[in-house]
Every structure is written in structure tokens, then in C-alpha cells.
């Protein structure tokens, strides 16, 4: 079993595997039969393979290809792949992406220092970790921009914000992106929002897809970087929201993915 190198700690602020992995992992026993596992794969909408675990300890991995020529009653430990590449929870998610890309595998079991399974990270999780990320650098850039434009000083804090109190500053979101954000929220993977605490309330500066997905599944509040500005500062995005009639999340339109500008560009190229 090859364990990919971990960065050791999270002080650098870079996203880690543990921030994006799925923690509730479906596994199979080494003593399960080929027939039993094949049936689980056929009946599943999400899985084409499973980690093979004796208790919590990972012994191997089995996928549909391993089962093709095996006898139905063969135990899984005889057909599973034992030469595993696994990730550590503290591994940089970008390093996990490199391992997935170079190895050609779709999923990395995530194990702790004792070799116990604690999660699994897929190529899909890695891709989602790169989309609409709210990083400290992103927040810092917005703060510096606000200070420069309005000749003022701003502060930043971190807290939970009620979604019903947010004023959107973006008039539309895309349906396909909402699906991805819903996937993240259901697995506890959503990034913090970026919110500006302005004179007339809380302006949502970044994270519209995350908020709309959360509202859709009944989440009432979310973690956020909150930027505090002076009461006498009138923000441009606040004027834009007023001009477009954006008072609440109900005013944000959901656009079907087929109308996404990137999809339209691809169609024209074809």
C-alpha cells in the first residue's frame, strides 16, 4: 500500500483532502463473494467499485473490471487489487489531484496514520475543490479593493450568517452549478461565503450558487467571511443590487445549464 505524502498541518491555508473527501464510505468485506459485490455495483447509481475493509483497516480495492472473469462464489480477497495508492487526510488536495491524474484511477481511499479508512476522495471531488473557492487570499483582495475605492479601513471576521438576511448582488445562477453545490452541502464540503456587513444589511459578495443550493435543501445559516465596513460607505454592489431589484434570494433566477455561456460557446465551436 503506497501512502501519498501529506503536507503535515493546515497552517499554509491550502485546501486539504479532509476538507473535500466523502467521510461516509461504502465498503465491502474481504469475505464477500464476487456475486454479492457485482450485485451491489449493478444496483448502485454511484459506485463502480469499493474499498475492501477488514473492520476499518483497508485491505484492498475492488472494481467492476476485477469481477469480469471471476467465479461468482470467489471471495473478494482473491480478486481485489492489493497494490493500493491511498491518500492521507492532511494531504494537499492539489497533490491528490496529481496522483489521480497520473495513476489514471478515479478514487483514492483516505487512511489515517494507523491505516484505517477515514474517507474517500474522487476526481469529481478534486474538480469541485477548484470551483468558486472562497480563500483567505480572495477575501483579502476584496478588502484591499474596498479600502482603495472608498478610502476607508475595513475589518474581517468569521461567523454564521442567516440566509434570509442576505441581499444578493448577482441576478442569476446556473442549474448545473447548483447540482454541484448541493452535492457538496450534503457531504458537508461547502466553502465559506464572503459577505459584506454594510449600512443596509448583509451583502452577499461571493457564494451565490452555494447559498441558493443551501436554501433549496432547507439550510438556514452558513459559515461566512464577513467584511465590516463603515456605516457611511455606500458600495457600488449595493447600488447594483438596488438597480436590479435584488432584495432577497427569491429575486435570483436559476438559468438552465444549456444556456450557460460556456456551453453556448462550445456549441458554436462545434
Q: Return the percentage of the chain with pLDDT > 90, whole number.
A: 42
pLDDT tier at 39, thresholds 50, 70, 90 = very high
CATH fold of 2-129 reads CBS-domain (3.10.580)
Please name the residue that has the C-alpha cell 452577499.
204
241 phi and psi, to 5 degrees?
A: -60, -45
pTM for this one? 0.54
The residue that leads in pLDDT, 128 or 54, is: 54
Strand segments, DSSP code E, in the chain are 2-3, 49-54, 57-63, 85-86, 107-111, 117-122, 155-162, 166-168, 172-174, 193-198, 201-206, 221-228, 253-255
- Would the pLDDT of 6 be above 90? no
Which of 115-124, 197-206, 230-239 is the least confident region? 230-239
Chain segment 229-268, per-residue pLDDT in tens: 886 777 777 888 888 899 999 999 998 754 445 544 444 4
3 state SS of 121: strand
Q: What is the pLDDT of residue 257?
A: 55
Q: Return the percentage of the chain with pLDDT > 70, whole number.
A: 86
Report the b/e string of 61-99 with b at 16+ CB within 10 A.
bbbeebbeebeeeebbbebbeeebbbbbbbbbbebbbeb
Grid cell for residue 74: 470467489
3 state SS of 53: strand
Q: What DSSP letter does each residue of 193-261 carry, written as one string?
A: EEEEEETTEEEEEE-HHHHHHHHHTT--EEEEEEEE--TT---HHHHHHHHTT--SGGGPEEEPGGG-H
Mean pLDDT of the chain: 83
What residue ranges do the domains of the chain occupy?
2-129, 136-269
Name the maximum alpha-carbon separation found in the chain.
75
Quick one: average pLDDT of 21-47?
92
Chain segment 123-171, per-residue pLDDT in tens: 877 776 665 566 667 788 888 888 888 888 889 999 999 999 999 998 9
Which of 91-105, 127-141, 171-185 is the least confident region? 127-141
- What is the architecture of the domain spanning 136-269? Alpha-Beta Complex (3.90)
Amino acid at each position: 500500500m503506497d501512502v501519498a505524502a501529506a503536507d503535515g498541518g493546515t497552517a499554509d491555508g491550502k485546501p486539504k483532502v479532509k476538507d473535500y473527501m466523502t467521510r461516509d464510505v461504502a465498503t465491502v468485506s474481504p469475505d464477500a463473494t464476487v456475486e454479492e459485490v457485482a450485485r451491489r455495483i449493478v444496483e448502485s447509481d454511484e459506485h463502480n467499485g469499493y474499498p475492501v475493509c477488514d473492520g476499518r483497516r483497508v485491505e484492498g480495492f475492488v472494481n467492476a473490471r476485477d469481477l469480469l472473469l471471476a467465479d461468482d462464489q470467489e471471495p473478494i480477497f482473491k480478486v481485489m487489487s492489493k497494490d493500493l495508492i491511498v491518500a492521507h487526510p492532511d494531504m494537499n488536495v492539489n497533490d491528490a489531484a496529481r496522483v489521480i491524474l497520473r495513476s489514471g484511477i478515479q478514487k483514492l481511499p483516505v487512511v489515517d496514520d494507523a491505516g484505517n479508512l477515514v474517507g474517500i476522495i474522487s476526481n469529481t471531488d478534486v474538480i469541485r475543490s477548484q470551483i468558486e473557492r472562497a480563500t483567505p487570499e480572495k477575501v483579502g483582495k476584496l478588502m484591499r479593493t474596498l479600502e482603495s475605492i472608498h478610502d476607508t479601513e475595513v475589518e474581517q471576521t468569521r461567523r454564521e450568517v442567516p440566509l434570509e438576511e442576505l441581499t444578493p448582488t448577482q441576478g442569476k445562477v446556473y442549474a448545473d452549478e447548483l447540482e454541484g453545490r448541493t452535492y457538496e452541502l450534503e457531504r458537508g464540503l461547502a466553502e465559506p461565503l464572503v459577505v459584506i456587513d454594510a449600512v443596509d444589511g448583509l451583502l452577499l459578495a461571493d457564494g451565490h450558487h452555494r447559498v441558493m443550493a443551501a436554501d433549496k435543501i432547507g439550510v438556514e445559516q452558513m459559515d461566512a467571511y464577513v467584511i465590516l465596513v463603515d456605516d457611511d460607505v455606500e458600495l457600488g454592489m449595493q447600488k447594483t443590487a438596488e438597480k436590479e431589484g435584488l432584495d432577497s434570494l427569491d429575486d435570483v433566477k436559476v438559468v438552465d445549464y444549456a444556456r450557460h455561456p460556456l456551453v453556448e460557446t462550445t456549441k458554436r465551436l462545434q
